[in-house]
Amino acid sequence: MRRTWIATIAITATLFGFARSASAQAWLSNRALGEGRGIRVGNFELHPGLGAEVGYDTNVFASPNSSMATRPLGAVRLRITPSFAVSTLGQQRTAGATPQTNFRFYVSSTYHRFVPLDGTVTEMDRVMNASNFGVNSGVRVELFPHRNWTFAVSDDFARIVQGSADYGVSLSQFNRIQNRAGLALQFNPNSGVLGFSLSYMNHLEFFERSDVSFYSYMANEITFANRWRFLPQTAFVFDASIIPTFYFNNGGAPLALSPSHPMRARFGLNGLFSERFGLLAMVGYQGTFYERGDNADTVIFTLEARYLIDQRSTFLGGVARDIQHALVGGFNIRNRLYVDYSHNFGGRFLLSIRSSGGIMEYGCLTDPGGACALPGGRISGGGVDPNSGRFTTYRIDGTLFGEYRPTDWFGVNLTTSLSTNLGDVNFQSGAMALPVTWLKFEAYLGLRLSI
């Protein structure tokens, strides 16, 4: 039971969001960066690519620096990422014609190799054993795009190689399988003033390690949305969702993992008010509706401004409040600020800056019967509410990416990122107090080929 509880504490870092997936590279999450003009084969475009990076990670497992048992472990890190995408022809090659079907498939795999430079033999073995393969793939088929009725089916699969917060026990990583499968039906009458959509998304999260398999869960998200376009590029929008969620095997969990039926409804405005300036403003309500333990219900909102510097350069900034699913505490109420700046200089040099900061309020830890654990037992510190048992942390992330492309298919890039979690909160495991505060810095130099 003690080992299970330590595993629970270690995985808390996962819900704090420290880990980067196998697709952390900037170009994989942005098609404009990751794909060139492509190779035309009949009615399809092929986009092969290959990236290689070497750098240093100061804190492989996002460990707190509180004692030798939890000290950060750094390592030289190598990432090699082949990728491939195939899709129906883009607008540049169809001369604006409306196709009957849009299709896209992509796949990438990243090999992560960790080489520790110091530490005890046990620590160095733990870091080296974190080396592994991550995978990202997806497919989307859209029938009758830009017509009155549009139907889409999609699936996105990922194997995430993810470090854990290492508290001196034999836990080096929590590898996970994620899958997102969706169906969507849209109705857009001839005038296009009104639009309606109904969608279903199946979220699957599977933890590979047997001792933390009780965190594996499935969520079924059903969403209805509609819009009313009152200006050429501006519309009132509404969406409402219900997300029944359950865990596959929570019988062995030391904390209650309760089924839930979260609900959300939002109304707002989304539009482009000039050739360069756009705004998204949404407000609504969200509730968690867990069967046992703590629950949250609150006003949620998003206020986001977008400025188009030119066709390939943008600035985006916003503030948002929402409720996120969490593996410890059940949920966190997230309040955050974020900025995303991307500038393409003459088609040869790209600069991208992403940063965010937030305050996270987590639900209380609960025992298998659903009762909240108050300060003084499993959790302590000034960040814990003495009455409700909820706890608060602060999160800051920043990523700087720069790439020089002497040709359309070859680039040299530099990526740096800083992540930190702050909070006066400690989880208790026997006589050991495990803090939630950690700091992680990464820097990589890479080469990339993309067609």
- Residue 298 burial (C-beta neighbours within 10 Å; 0-12, 13-18, 19+): middle
Residue 209 falls inside a structural domain: yes
| Residue linked to tokens 């965010």 | 356
Report the alpha-carbon distance of residue 258 to residue 250 in Å, rounded.
Answer: 8
Whether the per-residue pLDDT at 13 is higher than 90: the answer is no
Residue 341 falls inside a structural domain: no
Of 247, 240, 244, nearest in space to 261 by CA: 244
Residue 160 falls inside a structural domain: yes
| Residue linked to tokens 């890190």 | 77
Distances in Å between the Cα of 220 and the Cα atoms of 155, 240, 258, 360 are 14, 14, 15, 24
The answer to whether the CB of 315 falls within 8 A of the CB of 322 is: no
Long-range contacts of 198-205 (CB under 8 A, 24+ apart): 198/222, 198/223, 198/224, 199/223, 199/225, 203/178, 203/179, 204/177, 204/178, 204/179, 204/180, 205/176, 205/177, 205/178
Residue 250 falls inside a structural domain: yes
User: What length is written for the chain?
Assistant: 451
What's the pLDDT score for residue 27?
A: 61
Of 204, 206, 199, 280, nearest in space to 242 by CA: 199
3 state DSSP class of 360: strand
Of 377, 399, 404, 398, nearest in space to 389 by CA: 377
Q: pLDDT for 105-142, tens place per residue?
A: 999 999 999 999 888 888 888 889 888 999 999 999 99
Residue 327 falls inside a structural domain: no
426 compared with 262, residue with greater pLDDT:
262
Q: Quote the pTM value.
A: 0.85
The three-point CA angle 138-332-164 to 5° equals 65
Q: How many CA atoms lie within 13 A of 414 on its CB side?
A: 5
360 compared with 215, residue with greater pLDDT:
360
Report the alpha-carbon distance of residue 333 to residue 325 in Å, rounded.
Answer: 9
Of 413, 349, 360, 354, nearest in space to 383 by CA: 360
Q: pLDDT for 300-319, tens place per residue?
A: 999 999 999 988 899 999 99
Residue 338 falls inside a structural domain: no
Residue 90 falls inside a structural domain: yes
Q: Token pair for residue 93?
A: 């090659």
Q: Which residues of 168-177 are buried (b: 16+ CB within 10 A; e: fewer)?
A: bbebbbbbbe
Least trusted range by pLDDT, from 94-103, 137-146, 358-367, 414-423: 94-103
Q: Give 78's contacts (C-beta < 8 A, 6+ positions apart).
A: 52, 53, 54, 111, 112, 113, 115
Q: Which residue range(s) make up the domain with 8?
A: 2-269+281-298+363-450
pLDDT band for 244, please (50, 70, 90 cuts): very high
Report the alpha-carbon distance of residue 140 to residue 86 in Å, rounded.
Answer: 11
Residue 312 falls inside a structural domain: no
What's the pLDDT score for residue 67?
A: 58
How many domains are contained in the chain? 1
